[in-house]
Amino acid sequence: MVFKQTITEKWLAAGSSPVDWCEENYTVSSSIAEFTNSLSNVLTVIIPAYCIKNQLWRSYRKHISNGPQVILYLTALIGIASAYFHGTLSLFGQLLDEVWIIWVMCVAYASLTADCYRPVIFRGSRANIVALFLATFLTLMWFVAPYTNAFWMMTMGAPVYYFLYNECFVVKRKYSLSLVRLSLVLNILGITFWVADRAMCNFWLSLGLPGLHNIWHLLCGVGSYLNLTVFAYLKAASDAPYLIPTIRYYPGDTWGLPYVHCKSKLPS
């Protein structure tokens, strides 16, 4: 009974997390701590669910890997976990939110990083082993030193900016350049809003705004999916010369959600 009470008080109780964002708590709803921060996770759930339902990545799964499909499921879990965390500010919600982010980044690096961007020792199946070890290690570290998790997430996210910058200003692949530019802009805007929310909270509240973390969520919902599409295309274009990868859109031919379609150059 004491053990059960400890779990409830330490992990599941509302406000048990040491993290509290700029938005004032329980101002919109008496049952949801940070209303806009919870609601703004909607794109992080809807976009992956829409892609999965319409099987947009089936050709990529057939010719390259299941990486995008796994990432879509994990991303949807991040959105659900983040909504739960911001709705309760519980330590368990924080755990789910941050751990799923770590896992999705590890899966993405292992399955979508083109070989030209990784050392030889991290290619092939070894990348999966390293990703599994790192994700497991950081998950366990969360229980030892949860305050270091933000550092690890920022560190793991940093190479994405280098990859996008390099593709945008150095490599300039014409078939993906516009999408790379948009992805880079959304990533920069996202981190800018995240920092502004943390550093200028009192200013936003004085304007009657609930902070900017909710905008960060919306930008991440779109930006993370664009990152997936960009890196999946780069992986196919760089590492699979036997394929013809193209960026397509759904439901329209030139608008909607982008995805990578793969077709074999070999006669069927």
Residue 159 identity:
P
**Residue 24 known to bind ligand:** no
For residues 231 and 108, the answer to whether their CB atoms sit within 8 Å is yes
**Residue 23 known to bind ligand:** yes
**Residue 261 known to bind ligand:** no
**Residue 54 known to bind ligand:** no
**Residue 253 known to bind ligand:** no
**Residue 34 known to bind ligand:** yes
Binding residues: 20-21, 23, 25, 34, 86, 213, 217
Annotated binding site for Ca(2+): 20-21, 23, 25, 34
Q: What residue numbers does the annotated binding site for Zn(2+) cover? A: 86, 213, 217
